Amino acid sequence: MNAAEYWYNLETGVVEEGMVSPGYDRAGPFATRDEAARAPEIIKERSRAWAAEDAAEEDWGKDD
């Protein structure tokens, strides 16, 4: 089992193994290097999903 954690450096775009950079410059942790490399895409997907959930919550209980 690989216990390594991978992080995506938001400043440089480089995948790092372990907590190399300051916390404000990295996203993660990710289970694999490939997943960390996809961090910008994953972040966008999650942001869209959260925005949709927020919009649904704002509309909850409103009469049409």
CB 20 within 8 A of CB 30: no
Residue 31: predicted pLDDT: 96
2 pLDDT above the threshold of 70: no
Alpha-carbon radius of gyration of the chain: 16
1 pLDDT above the threshold of 50: no
Residue 64: predicted pLDDT: 59
Q: What is the pTM of this model?
A: 0.75
CB 30 within 8 A of CB 5: yes
Per-residue pLDDT tens over the stretch 8-61: 999 999 999 999 999 999 999 999 999 999 999 999 999 999 999 998 888 777
Sequence-ordered alpha helix ranges (H) in the chain: 33-37, 39-59
Length of the chain: 64
